Every structure is written in structure tokens, then in C-alpha cells.
Amino acid sequence: MTKLRFRPGELSDREALRVLYKRERSALLPPPSNKDLETALVDGRFIVGETEDGEIVACATMIPFSPAASVTYVGELTGAFVDERFRSGRPVNLQTVMLALRLLHYVILEGEPIAPATNTFITIVKKSNAASLANVEKAGFVECGPQPGWMEYDKLSWHGDYDEGEWRYFRTTSDTVQLLAKKFIDSGLLGGRCDTTTKSGNVEIELVGFHELELGVGDIKRIASGEHRVDLSDLPDELIYPAEH
């Protein structure tokens, strides 16, 4: 049985993560910028999964997609990587574990937005990435509709031109969060550990240092049962700033 420990990443992980993202870079997984990587580490929004020897074999993060001052928050779930040896987990795979950790952490920590503030969580997946597409669709993400003008403009700044439709944009709904909360409970992760079988055999997952989740057990149960529906929006038509309302 291999033990994997999942914990929030720390700034001291930055070099190991840069090495990992450089090694694993591909059209499916563009490495995060230093700004996104280090800001997420400082803000506790990186998740790393490591072996008992301290080798990072899984990671994922959530970065702000909207400008920091905007009250219309759009967060992007990104940077997901699982080492070949630990892919295809059953009954739960590691990308799904990290999706649940990132989303539940945000929802518990930040609470509900008060209008005109809104929360939206997106993920952007290359059309050819079958594994990731299967995971986000199974987790109940829905494809975004036509993109608002500010987002089209942003894409011009990344690509220098309109992209060729190579990427698919998904967002979470209240149902996604409910589904992930249920999986979190059913797998045993609410109690801080779970067993799963990956390509390299049985793996025991242990969660360490997710204090907000430990304090939010009651909230996670209410989300899973449907008693509490998390208020999530589609992509905002415009980004709104405090001075504008």
C-alpha cells in the first residue's frame, strides 16, 4: 500500500513545482506563470500530493481569472497533474480528489457573495484531453455558453488573435459542488483519509493541513444533502468594481 499525503502547497514547494511543470509541459498542460504559481502558494490555493519520500506526484490549483479588485469573482481551476503511476484511481481518481478539495475549500472559506458580487468557477480544457474532459463532465461541470466580450478580449491578449476553438470552457454549478461534496463524504475524505486503487496498486490518501475543511464539516454535509445550495453564476457579462455600485 502506497501512502500519499495531500496538503496545501507552501512557498518552499515553488522550485519542485517549477521542475515538475517544466518536465510535464505540453499543449494539454501549459505551466502556470511565476505570478500565478507563487501567488497561489502564498494564498494557500495550491494542492500537492506527495509520497512518503516527499516526491510531488499530483498537484492542482485555483487562480483568479478576474482582476483582484473586481467583485465579480471568476476563479480558474487549473494546473492539474497526476503522475502516470497514480492515474485511473478507483473508486476515486486523484484529479477528482483535487477538484473537490479546491472547490470545497473556496466555498467554505469565502462564504456566499452579496450582490452585486458573484462567484464563478471555470476550467479550460484542450479539446484533445480525453481524461480531463471525462473528469470535469463526470463531476457535473457544464460547458460555458457564448463568452462575454471582456473574456474574448482577454483571449486576444493571450494568443494575439482569436483562438482556433482548441479549448473548451466549463463552469461549475451548484450541482457540481453538491456532487463533489457527496464524493468527498462517500470516499471517506471528510474524515481525512480514503483508499483508492490506481495504476500502481492500492493507495491510502491522507489529508493534512486543510483546517478550513475540518472546521467546515457541517457545511460540507449541508451542501451534500442539498440543504444548502451554493450560489454560483455563469460568466458575468461585465466585470464590476466597487466604485461602480
Ligand X SMILES: CC(C)(COP(=O)(O)OP(=O)(O)OC[C@H]1O[C@@H](n2cnc3c(N)ncnc32)[C@H](O)[C@@H]1OP(=O)(O)O)[C@@H](O)C(=O)NCCC(=O)NCCS
Query: Considering only 31-39, 130-138, 142-150, 235-243, which stretch makes contact with ligand X by CB under 6 A?
Result: 130-138
Contact with ligand X (CB under 6 A) among 61, 66, 120, 135: 135
Contact with ligand X (CB under 6 A) among 11, 19, 42, 130: 130
Which of 216, 244, 240, 243 shows the shortest CA–CA distance to 73?
Answer: 240
Q: Does 172 bind ligand X (CB under 6 A)?
A: no
Contact with ligand X (CB under 6 A) among 51, 88, 173, 174: 88
Contact with ligand X (CB under 6 A) among 46, 65, 81, 106: 81
| Structural contact between residues 63 and 32, judged by C-beta atoms closer than 8 angstroms | yes
Alpha-carbon distance 128 to 105, whole Å? 29
Alpha-carbon distance 41 to 18, whole Å? 12
CB of 242 to ligand X, least distance (A): 32
Which of 182, 169, 177, 190 shows the shortest CA–CA distance to 110?
Answer: 177
Using CB under 6 A as the binding rule, the residues of this chain from 96 to 125 that contact ligand X are: 125
CB of 200 to ligand X, least distance (A): 11
Using CB under 6 A as the binding rule, the residues of this chain from 174 to 213 that contact ligand X are: none
Nearer of residues 130 and 208 to ligand X, judged by Cβ: 130
Q: Does 16 bind ligand X (CB under 6 A)?
A: no
Q: Does 47 bind ligand X (CB under 6 A)?
A: no
Q: Does 82 bind ligand X (CB under 6 A)?
A: yes
Look up residue 157 and give its three cell numbers.
491578449
The bridge status of strand 2-8 relative to strand 46-50 is: antiparallel
Q: Does 239 bind ligand X (CB under 6 A)?
A: no
Cell 471525462 sits on residue: 134
Dmax (CA) of the chain: 56
Which of 199, 101, 88 shows the shortest CA–CA distance to 134?
Answer: 88
Q: Does 89 bind ligand X (CB under 6 A)?
A: yes
Question: In sequence order, what are the beta bridge partners of 167?
Answer: 126
Q: Does 56 bind ligand X (CB under 6 A)?
A: no
Look up residue 98 and give its three cell numbers.
483535487
The bridge status of strand 201-207 relative to strand 2-8 is: parallel
Contact with ligand X (CB under 6 A) among 95, 119, 120, 196: 95
Please give the residue ranges that form the binding site for ligand X (CB under 6 A). Answer: 28-29, 80-82, 87-89, 93-95, 125, 129-132, 134-135
